[in-house]
Structure 1
Amino acid sequence: MPGLMRKRFVDVTAELIDAHPRLAVLTADLTAKAFDGVRARHPDRVVNVGIREQLLISMAGGLALAGVRPIAHSFAPFLVERPFEQIKLDLNHQGVGAVLVSAGGSYDIANSGRSHQSPGDVALLATLPDWTIQVPGHTDEAEAQLRAAAVTDDLVYLRLSNRSNTRAYVGAEEGFTTLRTGKRGVVLVVGPLADNVLAATDGLDVTVLYATRIRPFDNRTLRAAASGQDDLAIVLVEPYLAGTSVAEVTTALRGLRHRVLGLGVGREELRHYGSTRQHDIAHGLDAAGLRRSIANFLEE
C-alpha cells in the first residue's frame, strides 16, 4: 500500500491537473493506476510511459520545452539514479524546469531489496545547479511544497517518504524552523527524522532546527542559531547519505570556528532486507542511537 504522503500526492496532483491546463503528470508504472480517474478526464496530460525511466525524464524535458509544466514520479532510485544523465542533459542543460516527485526514501521499502533503496539521491542531485530539494516530514508539508512547485518553472525535487512526524511545522518549506533552543550546540534535522531527534535531544541543552527544504541551504538561520552558542558544535541529521550537507554547513559558518558531525545512512551497504525500523537502528538513526551519537559528540 502506498504511504500517506504518496496518497496525498496523487489526490493533490489530480486536483491540480483539473485546475491548471498547463500541468502534466508522467509515471513509469509506479502509482499509475491511482491516476486512472484524472487520466480519463485528461488523457493527453496524464501519461504512463511504462518501466522506462530515462524516457520519463526525456519526455518531461520535451514537454517543458513545449511550455508544459511536467510532474514526473517514480521510486527514488528510478527517478534520480537510473536516469541521471537525462536529468543533467534534458532538464539542466536545456534550461527547463520540472517537478520530480519520488517515493520510497532511503529504505522505506527495505523488503524490496537494494534495487529499491536510494540513500544517495540527494547527494547526487545536489551536484547539479539550480535544484530546489525538498524533504517533507509530514503530508501537510508535502502538499504545500507540491502546490508551490506546480505553479513555477523551477527545477524541484520533492522526496516523499512512507514515514511521518507526528505534526507538520508551518513555514518549514521556506527555511529552517527552530523547534528547541539551547546553548551547547545546534542539531539540524531534515524531514521525517524530526520526532526521533526531538526524543533523542530531550534534556540536552541544544538548539534543534528543522529543515524540509535542504537546497537552497538556509545559511542565514543556521548562522543566527550558531551565534549564541557556548560550544559551536553542529550535528546534522539527514534521512539519506550521512554527510550530504556537511559542506553546506561549513559554507554557512565560514569564518566561525566550529565542528560538525554528519549523521545519516552509512556508506556501507546493509545486505539484509529487514524493516525500516531495523535499518534505522542499524544506521543509528533511531532515537536511542541518535542520543548516543549526539551526546558523545557534545562531550568531545
Structure 2
Amino acid sequence: MDTMRDRFAPVVSRLLDEDPRVAVVLAEIGWDAFAEVQRRHPDRVVNVGIREQLLIGTGAGLALTGLRPIVHTFASFLVERPFEQVKLDLGHQDVGAVLVSAAASFDWPAGGYTHMAPGDVALLDTLDGWTVHVPGHPDEAETLLRHAVAAGDDKVYVRLSVQANAVGRAVDGARFHTVREGRSGVVVAVGPTLDAVLAATEALDTTVLYATTVRPFDAAALRHATETAGTDVVLVEPYLAGTSTAAANDALTDVPHRVLGLGVGRRELRRYGHTEEHVAAHGLDARSLRERIGEFVGGGRVVGVSA
C-alpha cells in the first residue's frame, strides 16, 4: 500500500491543474515530486529553500492575493519552528492556508527529536479557527486534502503519517463515525489508531467512534454515543496524550463523566529505534491499549458476559 505522503504530490498536482487558485509552497522537502508540475505552473509552485519562517510568510502572502496556498514540510518545521508566523502571518492577518505535514509524532525515528512533533495539534489548539484533519489511510488523506482546498479561505491543517489502518473509510471532513456500538463506554480512535483500538476493544462492550477531523471537535457525536454507551470516554490520539480531553469534557459538561486521554507521552525516547517500537513504548499498540482501556471503561465489561 502506498503511504499518505505518496498520494500528496499526485493529488496536489491534479489540484494545480484543476484550480487556478491553488498554489504550493515548499521548503526543499518534497520539491523533486513537483518538478514536472512546476514547469506547467511556474508561478504557483514555489520552493523557498530551507527557510521555514519564510515558508509560512510566503503562503500568507499568496493568500492575501486571493490564492489558496498549500504549504508542506515535516510537522516540526511546519508548526513548531515557524509558529510565530503561523500565529501572525495567517491568524492575525485573518488569511487561510492548507498546512500539510509529514513525519509528525515519530514517523521517521532515524531523524531524531528534531524531526518529531507530537505536540503539533496541541500547539495549533492555542490558536483560533483551525480545522484539523488526521486521516488514517491514504484514501482518506486524498479525500481530506480535497476538502481542505475546497474550504473557502479557511485555515486547515492536514496531518499525514506513514502509520495507517488497513482499510480506508468514507470520511466527510466533519463528523465522527460510529464503527462499533456497545453499552459500556465510548472509545474515540483518531486517524491511524483505529485498527489498534478495534483489536484492543474486540472483547469489550464499547462503542468505537472514528475521528479523522478533530477540530472542530464533534461534540454532538460524542454526546449521542454516551446516551447508550455511558459516559466513560477514552480518547486515543496519535499525538500528545490529552490533546482533546478538554474538548471531550466540554462536550459532556452538563453530565457526570470520566475522560481518559491516551496518546504520545511527554517523555523523550532517546533511542531512535523503529516506528513500531515508539508506538509500543507510548502504549499505543493493541496489547497496551487493551489493558489501559479495559481498566478504565465500564469496569472492563466483556461482550456477552454479565457484569
Q: TM-score range by the shorter chain?
A: over 0.9
Residue of structure 1 in register with 2:67 after alignment: 68
Distance in 1, matches of 2:215 and 2:273, equals 31
* Mapped pair 1:223 → 2:223: yes
For the residue of structure 2 that corresponds to 1:149, the secondary structure is helix
Instruction: State the 1:271 CA deviation.
Output: 1.0
Instruction: State the 1:173 CA deviation.
Output: 2.6
Identity %: 58
Distance in 2, matches of 1:85 and 1:44, equals 26
Distance in 2, matches of 1:173 and 1:18, equals 23
Distance in 1, matches of 2:110 and 2:232, equals 36
Instruction: State the 1:172 CA deviation.
Output: 4.9
Q: Is the 8 A contact 1:105 1:162 kept in 2?
A: no
Q: How does 1:24-173 map to 2 (within 5 A)?
A: 24-151=23-150, 152-173=152-173
Q: Is the 8 A contact 2:147 2:173 kept in 1?
A: no
For the residue of structure 1 that corresponds to 2:43, the secondary structure is coil
Amino acid in structure 2 at the alignment position of 1:97: G
Distance in 1, matches of 2:170 and 2:19, equals 25
- After superposition, what is the alpha-carbon deviation per residue over 1:25-79, rounded to whole angstroms, capped at 9, x for unaligned? 0110111111001001111111111110000000011111111110000000000
Distance in 2, matches of 1:52 and 1:25, equals 15
For the residue of structure 2 that corresponds to 1:262, the secondary structure is strand
Amino acid in structure 2 at the alignment position of 1:212: T
Gaps of 5+ in 2: 301-307
Amino acid in structure 2 at the alignment position of 1:276: T
- After superposition, what is the alpha-carbon deviation per residue over 1:206-232, rounded to whole angstroms, capped at 9, x for unaligned? 000000000000000000000113x42
For the residue of structure 1 that corresponds to 2:204, the secondary structure is coil
Instruction: State the 1:171 CA deviation.
Output: 2.9
Residue of structure 2 in register with 1:288 after alignment: 287
Distance in 1, matches of 2:244 and 2:163, equals 21
Residue of structure 1 in register with 2:185 after alignment: 185
Amino acid in structure 1 at the alignment position of 2:3: L
For the residue of structure 1 that corresponds to 2:145, the secondary structure is helix
Q: Is the 8 A contact 1:141 1:173 kept in 2?
A: no
Amino acid in structure 2 at the alignment position of 1:128: L
Amino acid in structure 2 at the alignment position of 1:200: A
Gaps of 5+ in 1: none
Instruction: State the 1:111 CA deviation.
Output: 1.4
Aligned length: 297
Amino acid in structure 1 at the alignment position of 2:232: A
Q: Is the 8 A contact 2:132 2:213 kept in 1?
A: yes
Residue of structure 1 in register with 2:305 after alignment: none
- After superposition, what is the alpha-carbon deviation per residue over 1:76-115, rounded to whole angstroms, capped at 9, x for unaligned? 0000000000000000100100000000120010111000
Q: CA RMSD in A?
A: 1.0
The TM-score with structure 2 as length reference comes to 0.95
Amino acid in structure 1 at the alignment position of 2:133: Q
For the residue of structure 2 that corresponds to 1:174, the secondary structure is coil
Distance in 2, matches of 1:105 and 1:189, equals 17
Distance in 1, matches of 2:225 and 2:88, equals 38
For the residue of structure 1 that corresponds to 2:228, the secondary structure is coil
Distance in 2, matches of 1:150 and 1:120, equals 24
Structure 1 residue ranges, 4+ long, deviating more than 3 angstroms after superposition: none
Residue of structure 2 in register with 1:198 after alignment: 198
The TM-score with structure 1 as length reference comes to 0.97
Q: How does 1:267-282 map to 2 (within 5 A)?
A: 267-282=266-281
- After superposition, what is the alpha-carbon deviation per residue over 1:194-251, rounded to whole angstroms, capped at 9, x for unaligned? 000000001100000000000000000000000113x421000000000000000001
Distance in 1, matches of 2:163 and 2:279, equals 12
Q: Is the 8 A contact 1:135 1:214 kept in 2?
A: yes
Residue of structure 1 in register with 2:304 after alignment: none
Q: Is the 8 A contact 1:172 1:210 kept in 2?
A: no
